Amino acid sequence: MLRPRATPTRELVNLDGLWRFAIDAAAGERPWGGRLDTPLEAAVPASYNDLFTDREIRDHVGWVWYQRSVRVPRGWAGERVRVRVDAATHEGRVYVDDVLVAEHAGGYTPFEADVTEHVTAGHEFRLTIGVGNELTGRTIPPGTITVTADGRRRQTYLHDFSNYAGLARSVWLYSVPHLHVEDVTIVPGVEGDTGTVGYSVRTSGPAGVRVRVVDADGAEVATGEGANGVLRIPDVTLWRPGAAYLYGLVVEVLDGDRVSDVYTEPFGVRTVEVRGTSFLINGEPFYFTGFGKHEDTPVRGKGHDDAYLVHDFQLMDWIGANSFRTSHYPYAEEVMEFADRHGIVVIDETAAVGLNLAVQGGLTGVPPRPTFSPETFGDETREAHAQAIRELIARDKNHPSVVMWCVANEPSSAEDGAREYFEPLVELTRKLDPTRPVCYAAVIFATHDNDRIADLFDVLCLNRYYGWYIATGDLATAETYLERDLRGWAERFGKPIMMTEYGADTMPGLHSVWDTPWTEEYQQAYLAMNHRVFDRIEAFVGEHVWNFADFQTSDGIHRVDGNRKGVFTRDRRPKAAAHALRARWTGLAGRRP
Ligand code: GCB
């Protein structure tokens, strides 16, 4: 799905700001049917949960309503008009005045509605967006709703980060000409010094198509005609990790001789390949340094914020991180574009986190139910998961920063049914994008000899917490366990291995001369132990510490004011481990330490 942009033929109005807001109990039967009667206003983009002091809003399970009035620019007569919602977590319904114009499930990918028939240029309309936050056995991510003894509905889920909800990304009103570009797919390649640009353009109706490639200075470097083809860029400048270079594919849709629509899609020329136990970018071995992150800041929750975006990337640069994983859901498109422009490498993950009933059983002692079954996660869950994969690839396929798709985090991959569940999803991913490697992040209970799906994937991505959840405080034992575990995977599969999570909760300011969990020294010693082992495993291609920063979790006895495995605090101050990581990572430039 194309990102809305202002072009010579398209105009764009950003609808961020303060919207009238109410949870369903306060919103009346048809919240879209008139002016929302509420004293509350909510900021967009932001999760609504932490904006208000009312606990009922913070813990609300169900629908909330956002409303504002919107004036259609008077120059838009004769154009098509669309409303685009960058994300409604986890379900969205859009009403223009009294009319439902769009419905969407999946909290981290965009959707839009053509509202041309319902609005008039120069006039105002009432825009109401309902957002539902319920997670069930049929949603991605999954969850369960229970009812308390006093009749309140409670949402539980199988991941630790807080179930922030609302309009956490921008909302747009934009115009497109009647005959327009619907979609553009770009597949770059390299032949010697020449960049190849396979492209395919979908238009809203039969039309001529003209394309040209412009370089970063806007100079034309290749031209072509037709909706599909391959363009060649002589003397190409590659997109490289740490040295981004972006071209633009300018697409013109022709109505006879007249240019009806113009749309420019940025892209980079680079290749990605897994060969033997190496991960190659532009034919050169690449070693990932960086983090699993979260979109998480105080007050805003998962609300996108450009200031944090800039600051987080500054901190990643400072520490020598060349990459991150969008754990555990697709991030805002602003983040992806920033990574493209700044040469940061991304492992792009769906929101399929928590497809694992065995972990819960293991932690609570309750005998686990099977994860993959018609009563738990069956065909309907898999269809929601397939849709999440389709929407992720549709949105992010042209980003040069994205080098791998991660289809799930910590599914129960050692259980009956895991292979049947995942095989079609991996096939789907490869069909939608044959150019990028595919992975999943494997939970610690999945070992080289019981995991049933690892051979379907290209890179073995492991989440391991030896020295934290296992062998807590005993780094010598942890080191032995970790090395045995990694060697097992290396020998059985002969594929590249990377650590997608390793980390230790750390209270800034807590110190000890011993190996005492929660201290700043322990986090450093824990990471150093991991690094010693990684450096002994030849097939190792990268390390992503869990987590970049402390983040909010659901309330409970396992966390003190959130997950504290951040190398930075939630307000982005470095813990001691940040300096140690910086010493290891800076200067590596994607090479193995
Ligand atoms: C994991 C999960 C991650 C958690 C982390 C932890 O394995 O993938 O979402 O936050 O462990 O800190 O427990």
Best of 294, 465, 546 to mutate for ligand 1, by most ligand atoms within 8 A of CB?
546
Ligand 1, atom 4: closest residue by C-alpha: 160
Residue 552 reports pLDDT greater than 80: yes
* CA–CA dist 472, 504 (Å, integer): 10
pLDDT on residue 171: 98
pLDDT on residue 587: 86
Q: How confident is the prediction for the chain on average, in pLDDT? A: 96
Cβ-in-10-Å burial (0-12, 13-18, 19+) of 571 comes to: exposed
DSSP letter for 271, please: -
Query: Helices (H) and strands (E) in the chain — how many of each?
Result: 10, 30
pLDDT on residue 368: 78
Q: Which candidate, 513, 517, 525, places its Cα nearest to that of 576?
A: 525
pLDDT on residue 361: 63
Best of 501, 544, 560 to mutate for ligand 1, by most ligand atoms within 8 A of CB?
501
Range 193-200 average pLDDT: 98
Q: Band of the pLDDT at 362, cuts 50, 70, 90?
A: low
Distance 501 CA to ligand 1 centre (A): 8
Ligand 1, atom 10: closest residue by C-alpha: 160
Distance 502 CA to ligand 1 centre (A): 9
At residue 199, what are phi and psi to the nearest 5 degrees? -140, 155
Distance 408 CA to ligand 1 centre (A): 13
- 252 carries an active-site annotation: no
Distance 440 CA to ligand 1 centre (A): 14
Distance 355 CA to ligand 1 centre (A): 13
Best of 161, 413, 563, 570 to mutate for ligand 1, by most ligand atoms within 8 A of CB?
563
Strand, helix or coil at 592? coil
Per the listing, tokens 């965009």 go with 110
Ligand 1, atom 13: closest residue by C-alpha: 160
Q: Which candidate, 24, 174, 68, 168, places its Cα nearest to that of 114?
A: 174
pLDDT tens, position by position, 283-336: 999 999 999 999 999 999 999 999 999 999 999 999 999 999 999 999 999 999
What is the share, in percent, of the chain residues with pLDDT greater than 70?
A: 99
* CA–CA dist 502, 291 (Å, integer): 9
Contact indicator for 188, 435 with CB cutoff of 8 Å: no
Distance 160 CA to ligand 1 centre (A): 7
- 410 carries an active-site annotation: yes
Catalytic residue among 410, 415, 520, 543: 410
Best of 463, 523, 559, 570 to mutate for ligand 1, by most ligand atoms within 8 A of CB?
463
pLDDT on residue 359: 76
Which amino acid is it at 362?
A: G
- Closest ligand 1 atom to residue 469 Cα is 13
β-pairing verdict for 194-203 and 228-233? antiparallel
- Closest ligand 1 atom to residue 409 Cα is 8
pLDDT on residue 310: 98
Q: Model-level pTM?
A: 0.97
- Closest ligand 1 atom to residue 553 Cα is 10
Distance 359 CA to ligand 1 centre (A): 11
pLDDT on residue 589: 85
- Closest ligand 1 atom to residue 444 Cα is 7
Residue 92 reports pLDDT greater than 70: yes
pLDDT tens, position by position, 481-525: 999 999 999 999 999 999 999 999 999 999 999 999 999 999 999
Residue 364 reports pLDDT greater than 70: no
- Closest ligand 1 atom to residue 563 Cα is 12
- Closest ligand 1 atom to residue 441 Cα is 8
pLDDT tens, position by position, 402-436: 999 999 999 999 999 999 999 999 999 999 999 99
Domains in the chain with CATH codes: 12-176 (2.60.120.260), 181-270 (2.60.40.10), 273-410+419-585 (3.20.20.80)
Distance 344 CA to ligand 1 centre (A): 23
pLDDT tens, position by position, 27-83: 889 999 999 999 999 999 999 999 999 999 999 999 999 999 999 999 999 999 999
Catalytic residue among 79, 501, 520, 543: 501
Q: Which candidate, 346, 395, 361, places its Cα nearest to that of 500?
A: 346
- Closest ligand 1 atom to residue 463 Cα is 7
Range 558-571 average pLDDT: 95
**Structure tokens given for 225:** 């005609």
Q: How far is CA 574 from CA 61, 212, 237, 315, 433, in A?
A: 35, 45, 36, 9, 38
Residues framing ligand 1 (Cβ under 6 A): 159-160, 328, 409-410, 463, 501, 546, 563, 565
pLDDT on residue 363: 63
